[in-house]
Amino acid sequence: MQVIKMKGSDDTPKIILDKQNGLFEISGRSLPEDVAAFYEPILDWLDEYAETPNKKTVFEFKLEYFNTASSKLILDVLLKLEDMSDDGNEILVKWYFPDDDEDMEEAGEEYADIVEVPFEQVSYSID
């Protein structure tokens, strides 16, 4: 499977989708101009990955900010992970948020309530 590695910018998150090394990460800021076009290759990659996923998939979200349009696509990513979990695969979502960012913490809690996937909230301090 092809590895997706995209550098983040002020408007787009850093993306790492690397099956061989077990790295699955979306981090940074997500407010791309065309959200659907930005996330389309990620969702397509996940569809392909779902056909033969790793024994365990730990998907990490380390977002500092995302806009409303991105929130729907983030949910789409989580729903694909939920489908994999429903198929009997071991999935864990790690939702990282700064310990002083209640909005990002609550966003993780809301996603955890929507999708039935093991969810781990991880707070960290920004020094």
Give SS3 for 57: strand
Where are the domains positioned within the chain? 18-124
The residue-averaged pLDDT of 22-46 equals 97
Q: What is the pLDDT at residue 126? A: 78
pLDDT by residue (tens digit) across 98-117?
Answer: 999 999 999 999 999 999 99
**Which two tokens mark 125?**
């301090």
Q: Is the pLDDT of residue 127 over 80?
A: no
Parallel, antiparallel, or unpaired for β 14-18 and 4-6?
antiparallel
Which whole number is the average pLDDT over 53-66? 97
**Neighbouring residues of 110: CB distance < 8 A, sequence distance ≥ 6:** none
Does the 18-124 domain belong in CATH 3.30.750?
yes
